[in-house]
Chains A and B, each alone.
Chain A
Amino acid sequence: MLTLLLIAIPLLMAGAIFVMGSKSARQLALFTGIAELLVTFAAIWIEKSGTHPELLSFNQQWIGPLGISYAFSLDGISLVMVLLTTLLLPVIVYASFNKTFKNPHVFYGLMLLMIASMIGAFTTSDGLLFYIFYEFALIPIYFIILIWSHAEGRARITLKFFLYTLFGSLFMLIALLYVYQHSHSFAMADLYAAGQSLSAYEQGWVFAGFFIAFAVKIPVFPFHTWQPATYNAAPTAGAMLLAGIMLKMASYGLIRLVLPMLPEGVAEYGTWALVLASISVLYASGMAIVQKNFKLLIAYSSIAHLGVLTAGILSGNAQGVQGGVMEMLSHGIITVGLFIVYDIIESRMSHDEMSRMGGIRDVNPQFAFLFFVIVMGSVALPMTSGFVGEFCFCSDSTNTAPHLLLLPGLLLYLEQCICCAPFRP
C-alpha cells in the first residue's frame, strides 16, 4: 500500500498543480516532496522492523491472460532508490525557489509526473510495468528541457535525446519479449526463472539487448553523445532530475533485471560490457580534461563515475552489487550537489566558463567550503559516501578478475584527478 501511496501522491499533486495554476505551484511541489520523504521514512521503518511486510507490496491483476499485473514491492534495493528520489525531490524543488519560470505550474506538474513514473520503475516487480514506467519518464523530461531551456538549438538537442534513448529502449523491449516467450508472464520472478533456463548463447543475445538499452541511458561509451549536450541545454532542475535520478533507472535495471535473469549471459559476455565501461571511464576522463564549461565538466565526470559504477555492477557478486547501490545513491546526491553549485555560480556570474571564475572563497568562504566537501565526495575520499561504493568495486575486481585490477584502478585515479579540476578557490 505504501508503494501505491508513493506513486499516487505525486500523480495526484501533479494534477492538482495543473488545475490550480501557477500561484502556489512551487510550494505545493515542495510540500509533495516532503510528504514523499516522510512516506519513504515510514517504509524504511516498516522494512527495518519487519512487522507489516504486507504494507510494502501490492499485487493486482491487470491483463490476466497475458500475465501482466500491477505488482509493486519495496525491498532493500528499491528502498534505496526510492530514498534517493524522495530525498532529492525537495532539494531540487527548493533549489529552484528563487528562480522565475514561465508557467511554473506546468513545470512542477511535469516534474511530479516524472517522479511518479520513476518511483514506479524503482518499485514495480512486473517486467512490462518497469518498461512502461521507464519509458514514460521520458515524456515529462522531454518537455521540461524543450520548453524551459535557453540553449541554442534546443529543439534539435532534445529531439536527439528523446529519439536516442527511445531507440535504445526498443532493444530492451525485444529482449523482454523474447524472455516472455518462455515465461508467459511478466512477473519478475517468472522472468528470472525463464531467463535462467535459456542457453548461454541465448542469454548472451538477451543480455546484449538489455545492455544496449541501459548503456544508452546510463550512459556508457560510445552511446553517450546525447548526454553532455542535453545536460548543457537543460534547465538546471531538469539536469538534476536527469543526472540525479532518471539515469539511475538504467543502472537499477541492470541490478534488478539483468543480473538475476541472465547469470550466464553476464558471465559469458559481461566482459565486453566491462571493457566498454572501462573505456568509458578513460575516455570521459580525457574529455573532462579539455572542457572549459562547468556544466560539461560535470557531465563528463559523471560519465566517468557511471563507468566505474557499471563495471562494478557487472562484476556480478555481492560486493559489486552493494557497492553499486551505494554508489548510485552517492552519485545522485553528489551530482545534484554539483549542479546546485553550478546553478548558484551561474546565476550570479551569468556565464559558465571556468577560466573566468575564481575568487568565490573571498566573498563566501562557507560556500567554497561546502563545494570543497562535495568535490571530496566526488573523488571518493574515505568517510564520504563516494568512498564506500568505489572501494567495494575495487576490492571486488580483484576477486573476480585480478588482471583487470590495474585498469579500473588507473581509471579511478584519473577520473578523480579530473574531478579536482573544478575546485578553484
Chain B
Amino acid sequence: MEKLVTLVPLFPLAGFLYITFFGKGFSKGFIGTLASSTILLSFIVSVLVFTTQMHGAHPAIVKVFDWITAGSFDIDFSFLVDPLSTIYLLFITGVGFLIHVYSTGYMHDDEGFNRFMAYLNLFVFFMLILVLGDSYVTMFVGWEGVGVCSFMLIGFWYKDMKNNDAAKKAFIVNRIGDLGLIIGMCLLFAYTGTLKFDDLFIGGSDASGIPGGVGTAIGISLFIGAMGKSAQIPLHTWLPDAMAGPTPVSALIHAATMVTAGIYMVARSSELYAYNEIASSVIVWAGILTSLLGATIALTQNDIKKVLAYSTVSQLGLMFVALGMGAYSTAVFHVITHAFFKALLFLGSGSVIHGMSGEQDIRRMGGLKKFMPVTHLTFLIGTIAISGVFPFAGFFSKDQIVAVAFEENKIVFILSLLVSACTAFYMFRLYFLTFHGKFRGTHDQEHHLHESPKSMTVPLMILAVLSVVGGFIGLPHAVGEQMGMHWHWLDHFLEDAVVMPSIHMSLSTEVLLMVIATIVALGSIAYAWTIYKKRGVLADEDKDMESSAQKLLYNKYWIDEIYDALIRKPVDRISHFLGKFIEPKIIDGIVEGTGSLTKNTGGIFRMLQSGSLSLYIFVFIIGLIAILLSL
C-alpha cells in the first residue's frame, strides 16, 4: 500500500510536463480540468495511504532511486510514509485541488492560463517531495523546488517590473534562510554521519548523541531555514511583497502550504528540539515577536491582500510559539486549520478582487454583501474562524496554543492573547469595510460588480465547511469529554511521529482559558463593530496618519528601509569600492607594475646596447684592464 505513495507526487509532475510540452492548442477548459484532476488523483491516493496509517500501519520508507554517492555520503531519493507526512499529504492535495479548481475560474481570461496551471502543478509536486522526503536532503529538494515555483508565480505577471522585484526578493531572502538550513544539515551530518529522519529520530536515535552546544547550533541553524520559508522575523519581509502574485498563488503557496514548510521541518526534527532549551526558546521568542509584529501591522493596512498577508505572518508566528514550547502536534493542528480558513479568506479576497475588476484597496469597497452573497457568507465564516470563536476551527487550535503558553510562560501567554485580540479586530475591520456600508468605488466598478462563477464559489463553500468543522480533529479534553467523543484525535495520530508535550491541565483551567479566549475574541469583534459598522468610520488615509504609532504601523516599522540602509547600501558601496579602486589600482596595479618594472629594467640595459663600436671597445678595454689587474 505504501508503495502507492510514489504516485502522489507523480501525478502533478505528469500534469506539469504534459501541459508544458503538449499543452499548446488545447482549450483552457481541458487544461484546467487536466491540472485539477492530477491533484484530485493525488488526493485520492493520499486518502488511501492515510487510511492505512490511521489503522496503525508502521511508518514505511519507499525508495525511488539512488542519488548522491560520494565519500561517506550515500543519499537515496526515498519517501517516508508516517502519520506526519500523510496528514500533510492530505491537506496539501485537498486544499491544493480546491485551489486548482478555483484557479480555472479566476485565471480564465488570462493569456498565460496554461503556464499558470503548469506552474501550480509543479509547485504541488515539489511541496509533496518536501513532506515526503525521508531525509533532510530530499526534503531540501522540495524545499528549493517550492522556492523556485514561488519565485515564478510571484513574478507571474512579469510585465510589471514591481512583480519581478517582489519575486527576486522572495527568492533571495529565502536563500539566506537556506544557508542556515544547509549549515544545520552539514553540522548534523558531521556529528551523526546521516541525514535520514529514520536513522536520526524515529527508528535509531542518532540525534540523541549530539553534544548540547552543537545541538543548539544545529537547532538554530535549521530554524534560520524555517525563518526564511515561514516568514519569521527578521526574514519575514518577502511574504507581504509576495502578494504581487495572482491570488490563488497567495492562497496555496503563501498561506496554506509552502509557508508552513518551516513548521513541518521543525516538527519533523522534534526530537532535536525537545531536549534543547535554548534553541526552543529562540523559536518561542522569534515566533511571538513575529506574531505581534504581523498582527499590529495588519491593523492599519488598506490593501485586502496585505492585511491577509500580515495576518499569515502573525499566525505562522503563533505556530512557532507552539513548536518552541514543545507542543509539536498543536502546531501541526494550527497549520491544518489555518490552511482551511486562510485559503478560504484568500480565495474570498480573490473573488472580491475579481468582482471589483482588480481593485484591492478596501477604502474603495464597501457594501459588497448584497452583490456577492456567497463570497460574503464564506468570507464571514473564515473571519469568524480566524478570530477564534467557538466552535469554529480556529478556536480549538489557537486555544490550544494559548493554553500551552499559559502553562509554560505567562508573558508569552499575555502576548498571545494580545495577538488574538488584534487578529479579531483587524479581520472584522476588513470584513466590515469590505462587505458593509455604502459602496465607495467608482461608478464603473459598481456597474461591473458580480458574484464569481461556480468554479470559484464551490471551493469557497467547501473550505467554509472545513473552516467550521476542521477543529474537531483536535477537540480539547474538556469539550471532548462532555460530548462523549474521542478527544484530540490528532494528538493520538501523531503520537509516534513527533514528541508529545507532557502538559496535563486540569479541567477547570482548560475551561477558564477557553472562556478568556472567547471573551477576548468577542470583545475585539464588538469593538470593531462599534467603530466600523455602527459609527461607520472609514479607513481614511489622512486621518489614519495622525498619530506616530499609526504611522509606524502603516509603514511596517520601516523594516524594509532599515535593511536597505544596513545591508544593501553598504554592500553596494563596498562592491563599488572594490570595482573602482581595489581591483584596477591595487591588484591589477601590482601585476601591471611587475610588467612595466621588467620592461623598464630592460630599457635601462638596452641603452648599453647602443650600437656604437667605440663604446663597446671602451668597455672591452676597461674590462680587460680590470681582469689583468686582478690577476
Interface, chain A (partner B; CB < 8 A): 160, 163-164, 221-222, 225-226, 283, 286-287, 289-291, 317-320, 322-323, 326, 361-362, 365, 376, 379, 381-383, 388, 391-392, 394-399, 402, 405-406, 409-410, 412-413, 416-417, 420, 424-425
Contacts and interface: CB of A to CB of B under 8 A. Distances in A.
A395 B176 CA distance: 18
Nearest to B67: A388
Contact of A225 (B164, B179, B574, B588): B588
B200 to A, nearest CB: 15
B145 interface: yes
12 contacts: A225-B587, A287-B575, A319-B71, A362-B159, A365-B115, A376-B148, A382-B137, A382-B143, A395-B186, A398-B189, A405-B186, A413-B179
B412 interface: no
Contacts of A287: 575, 578-579, 583
A164 B591 contact: yes
Contact of B158 (A361, A376, A388, A398): A361
Determine the interface band of chain B, counting residues with CB < 8 A from chain A: 35 or more
Given A287-B578, A383-B141, A417-B172, A395 B73 contact: yes
Contacts of A410: 179
A416 B591 CA distance: 29
B144 A382 contact: yes
A420 B171 contact: yes
Given A382-B140, A398-B190, A319 B182 contact: no
Contacts of A398: 186-187, 189-190
A395 B185 contact: yes
Interface in B565-606: 571-572, 574-576, 578-579, 583, 587-588, 590-591, 595
A279 B294 CA distance: 39
B70 interface: yes
B172 A318 contact: no
B183 A409 contact: yes
Prevailing SS type, chain B contact patch:
helix
Nearest to B582: A283
Contacts of B172: 417, 420
Contacts of A381: 144-145, 148
A318 B182 contact: no
Contacts of A399: 190
Prevailing SS type, chain A contact patch:
helix
Contacts, number: 111
Contact of B578 (A283, A326, A388): A283
B70 A225 contact: no
Contacts of B144: 381-382
Contact of B71 (A163, A164, A225, A318): A318
A48 B466 CA distance: 57
A326 B140 contact: no
A365 B23 CA distance: 14
B595 A416 contact: no
Interface in B145-197: 145, 148, 155, 158-159, 164, 168, 171-172, 175-176, 178-179, 182-183, 185-187, 189-190
- The 6 A-B pairs at the shortest CB distance, nearest first, are namely A319-B71, A318-B71, A398-B190, A322-B70, A225-B588, A382-B141
Contacts of A286: 571, 574-575, 578-579
B583 A394 contact: no
A290 B68 contact: no
Interface in B337-372: none
Contacts of A425: 155, 158, 164
Given A164-B591, A322-B70, A289 B583 contact: no
B72 interface: yes
Contact of B583 (A225, A323, A405): A225
Interface in B446-470: none
A186 to B, nearest CB: 30
Nearest to B164: A425
A290 B72 contact: no
Contacts of A416: 175
Contacts of B70: 318-319, 322-323, 326, 388, 392
A130 B183 CA distance: 38
Contacts of A290: 572, 575-576, 578-579
Given A406-B183, A417-B172, 17 more contacts: A221-B587, A222-B587, A290-B572, A290-B578, A320-B71, A361-B158, A376-B148, A379-B175, A382-B144, A383-B145, A392-B73, A394-B182, A394-B186, A395-B73, A395-B185, A398-B186, A413-B175
